[in-house]
Structure 1
Amino acid sequence: MLPSFRFEQEHPAPCAGVDEAGRGPLAGPVVAAAVILDRRHVPSGIDDSKKLGEAAREALYAKIVATAGWGVGIVDVEDIDRINIYQATMLAMRRAVDALGVEPGMVLVDGNALPKWRYPARAIVSGDALSRSIAAASIVAKVTRDRIMHALDAEHPDYGWRQNKGYGTPAHKAALIAFGATPHHRRSFAPVAQLCLTV
């Protein structure tokens, strides 16, 4: 069953959905997106980004950004290492909603925690599978981050980021041992510190 507008209909418009991509990887930024869907022009097939293949995500991303209000927040590796990944995720979400350019009547956030901000908000566990606005945000966040990792892969091809997106796959960990950490690795993450002698 695809995500619905059940939660959106319980709150004042405009209602934004927020989700993030990239909390767990060993490299690259954390990215959040906020989306306010135009219910008169909702692209069909919006679902939790994890349930979609790359081609489907790219196609839906193009339709979402063409028809909806949206904003993206990005927090880089330096800030992740400085304030920790949880706080960096909250910061990315704040930046994403601020980037919408409109004041939402309600923000629906995937997960069980809310950033400290001025917006009325509601946390929804598994929200990307339940709320269509959060699912749309999950697609925008995932595609945005994947594109960043593809670009970084071109600069550092030894780590396989085009395929693993910075996650700690066996090949990525082997590359850390062989080549050391890049400026895009999260040095505060234990696997990086444990595997890389040049941290």
Structure 2
Amino acid sequence: MRGVTPGLTASGRRLVIGVDEAGRGPLAGPVVAAAVVLGAAIPAGLDDSKRLSAKRRAGLDEAIRASCGWAVAVVEPDEIDRVNIFMATMLAMTRAVASLAGALDAAPGEVLIDGNMTPAGRCAEWCWPARAIVGGDGIEPCISAASIIAKEWRDRLMLEAAEAFPHYGWERNKGYGTAEHMEALRLHGPSPLHRRSFAPVAQAVLI
């Protein structure tokens, strides 16, 4: 797509990228952001990933990755602990958009982000027009697609992590602070994938 006017696709269509994240709340594992530009054929049934069944979400994940432009960025727990979870989320979003814009060789005309804040003015690398939309993952199809990609990508990472660290039940709780996870944290202490800046993990270190 070399020579494309900034903000436009090769066909002259305005380039709009949707962004969402998964994994702000868990005690363990990375935060993941996805950026998606919809293709000509938009998968049917896009919605907030939390409203979809696991089976439906997995099917849409495959359809989105097959028919749309997309990129994912992962910020690991050690970086989350260094910069805090809010900034880690902003960094993940920035890196995902940069990766997708680079792959498309075109700057977006607008980036739509789920929530009430954008990385604009918070991440030095952010350089695109951005608009935050509260509940955007259920309103804007490109954000819905990003929410599905981010959720499925992070879930796969946590399933892999559960095999390496089986005590915590991550295949079931994906790193969230369930009763099962908290009990395992008390008994076994934190793993290398725990976010030590999060209070329950920090407290477990002191026990």
TM-score by length of 1: 0.91
Cα distance in 2, alignment partners of residues 13 and 140 from structure 1: 22
Counterpart for residue 6 of structure 1: none
Question: How many angstroms does 1:104 deviate by?
Answer: 1.1
Tell me how far 1:196 sits from its aligned partner. 3.7
1:79 and 2:83 equivalent?
no
**Structure 1 residue 59: deviation in Å?**
0.6
Q: Distance in 1 between matches of 2:193 and 2:206?
A: 16
Contact 2:190 2:204 in 1 (8 A): no
Q: Which residue of 2 aligns with 1:178?
A: 187
Letter in 2 for 1:107: V
Match of 1:121 in 2: 130
Q: Does 1:54 align with 2:54?
A: yes
- Name which of 108, 111, 117 aligns with 1:107: 111
- The Cα shift of 1:197 comes to 3.6
Cα shift readout 1:99-127 (whole Å, capped 9, x = no counterpart): 11232111000011111310011000111
Which ranges of structure 2 fall in alignment gaps of 5 or more residues? 1-12, 121-125
C-alpha separation in 2, matches of 1:196 and 1:175: 13
Q: Distance in 2 between matches of 1:197 and 1:181?
A: 11
1:167 matched residue in structure 2: 176
The SS at the match of 2:131 is strand
Tell me the CA shift for residue 130 of structure 1: 0.8
Query: C-alpha root-mean-square deviation of aligned residues, in Å?
Result: 1.1
SS in 2 for 1:113: coil
Distance in 1, matches of 2:53 and 2:205, equals 32
Q: Is the 8 A contact 1:26 1:189 kept in 2?
A: yes
* Deviations 1:45-102 (CA, angstroms, capped at 9, x unpaired): 1110000111111110000000000011110000000000000000000011011123
Return the alpha-carbon distance in structure 2 between the equivalents of residues 76 and 156 of structure 1.
16
Q: 2:153, 2:141 → 1: CA distance?
A: 18
Q: Distance in 1 between matches of 2:82 and 2:205?
A: 19
1:188 corresponding residue in structure 2: 197
Taking structure 2 as the reference length, the TM-score comes to 0.88
Question: 1:133 is matched with which residue?
Answer: 142
Is this contact kept in 2: 1:25–1:166, CA < 8 A? yes
Secondary structure at the counterpart of residue 99 of structure 1: helix
Q: Which residue of 2 aligns with 1:24?
A: 25
Quote the Cα distance in structure 2 between the aligned partners of 1:188 and 1:28: 13
User: What fraction of aligned residue pairs are identical, expressed as a percent?
Assistant: 56
The answer on 1:33 being equivalent to 2:34 is yes
Residue-by-residue CA offset, 1:29-49 (whole Å, 9 max, x unaligned): 0000000001x3111111100
Indicate whether 1:148 and 2:149 are aligned. no
User: How many Å separate the matches in 1 of 2:173 and 2:42?
Assistant: 31
Whole-Å separation in 1 of the counterparts to 2:55 and 2:28: 23
